[in-house]
Amino acid sequence: MTPKNITAQDVLLVIDVQNDFCPGGALDVAGGDAVIAVIQQVAPRFEHFILTQDWHPAGHSSFASSHAGKKPYEQIELSYGMQTLWPDHCVQGTKGAEFHPALDLPQAEMVVRKGARPQIDSYSAFFENDRTTPTGLGDYLRDRNFTRVFLAGLAYDYCVGYSALDARRLGLQAIILRDACRAIDLNGSVAKIEAEFAEAGVTVMESADLFGPS
């Protein structure tokens, strides 16, 4: 079966298309809002959609402002390992945490809010950054008999990428729609995660491949 043969066991996972990750936001991913048109174009190919939403409390441990003398994009050691420090972003209940208004997927079956625990960050839609605490998404997909996850959104080298790797850990096929993502590319993060994709068996393809002949 080729990727373009979308079935009822496939789900489109749209990662963190929120105001704070788009131009003008607190953690602006360059060209972040450009993913929306691609997502809307491929959406009719799918029966099933799940959205994720970064949903941090104020003073979250991943914010540089929570650590005296630290600046955004520095790294520190937390209880679960190394953590990149970010500008305050996607704070619960703020406009920055809202989905971008151009994202129009009312048929989404579920919204996974992640990063809500004050002391631990969560890049992946499946596990928090300790790599063991589940969000519940894996169980949901298993219970619904989904076998393949297509991923789009922000950012390619962080939340999209970690979600794809964890999907593979859980035995799901994982396909990233590269032109439906944008990257931060912090300290070589794109090259690093693409090496992990190759090792884990994550497929990276262009959205146009969904529309080719069967």
Q: What per-residue confidence (pLDDT) applies to 3?
A: 60
Task: Return the active site residues.
Answer: 16, 114, 159
Q: What is the pLDDT of residues 47-92, one digit of tens each?
A: 999 999 999 999 999 999 999 999 999 999 999 999 999 999 999 9
Q: What per-residue confidence (pLDDT) applies to 211?
A: 81
**Residues in the chain where the model's pLDDT stays below 50:** 1-2, 214
Question: Dihedral through CA 106, CA 166, CA 84, CA 34, nearest 10?
Answer: -40
Rounded CA separation 55/181 (Å): 20
Q: What per-residue confidence (pLDDT) applies to 1?
A: 42
Rounded CA separation 165/174 (Å): 8
With beta carbons less than 8 A apart as the criterion, state whether 115 and 163 touch.
no
Query: Among candidates 45, 36, 18, which has minimal Cα distance to 148?
Result: 45
Q: What is the pLDDT of residues 123-135, one digit of tens each?
A: 999 999 999 999 9
With beta carbons less than 8 A apart as the criterion, state whether 166 and 196 touch.
no
Rounded CA separation 138/8 (Å): 17
Rounded CA separation 195/192 (Å): 5
User: Which two structure tokens, joined as six digits, stand for 110?
Assistant: 């579920």
Residue 77: phi and psi, rounded to 5, are -95, 120
Any bridge partners for residue 13, and if so which?
Answer: 50, 151
What's the pTM value of the predicted model, to 2 decimals? 0.95
